[in-house]
Amino acid sequence: MTTRLRAALYHRVSTTDQDAAAAQKELRNAAARLGMRVAKNIEETGSGANNNRPGLLQIMHLARRGMIDAVLVWKLDRFGRSALDLLTNLRELESSGVRFIAVTQGIDIRPGGEAMSRLML
């Protein structure tokens, strides 16, 4: 029997006025299409420029501990706004063996793949 990959769904909104329900549904549907089990669902409110958001820190902790196999986000900018922080976090996910998928943008970065190298250029 094949073990299903453990996915962490991460969605950030900038203000409490924003409705994240549609994005959350899309993330769950994407995980199901990919045959992944949702191990963690994190939604938070805050600026993407802040790299010390509790939800983001939790995602990175889960990755370092080997507790997730993939991170799914709705859009890349929901994961972070600072290019340097974004690349640093994506590198850390890659080195932890965690796949990163931006569902609406067709971005799928697999550990050891070429996509990360191209993104860095």
Which residue shows structure tokens 């420029």?
Answer: 49
The residue to which tokens 């938070």 are assigned: 44
Q: How many CB atoms lie within 10 A of CB 120?
A: 9
Range of the domain at 83: 6-120
Q: How far apart are the first and last CA of the chain?
A: 39
In a domain, 55, yes or no: yes
**What tokens appear for 74 in the block?**
């709705």
SS3 call for 10: strand
Q: What is the pLDDT of residues 39-71, one digit of tens each?
A: 999 998 877 667 788 999 999 999 999 999 999
Q: How many domains does the chain have?
A: 1
Q: What pLDDT, on a 0 to 100 scale, did the predictor assign at position 97?
A: 96
pLDDT tens-digit profile, the chain (121 residues): 567 899 999 998 876 666 678 888 999 999 999 999 999 999 988 776 677 889 999 999 999 999 999 999 999 988 888 888 899 999 999 999 999 999 999 999 998 765 554 555 4
Q: Residue 96 catalytic?
A: no
Tokens read off for 50: 């802040």
- For position 101, which CATH number holds? 3.40.50.1390
14, 47, 95, 117: which one is catalytic? 14
Q: Is residue 1 part of a domain?
A: no
Q: What is the reported pLDDT for 121?
A: 46
pLDDT, position 55: 92
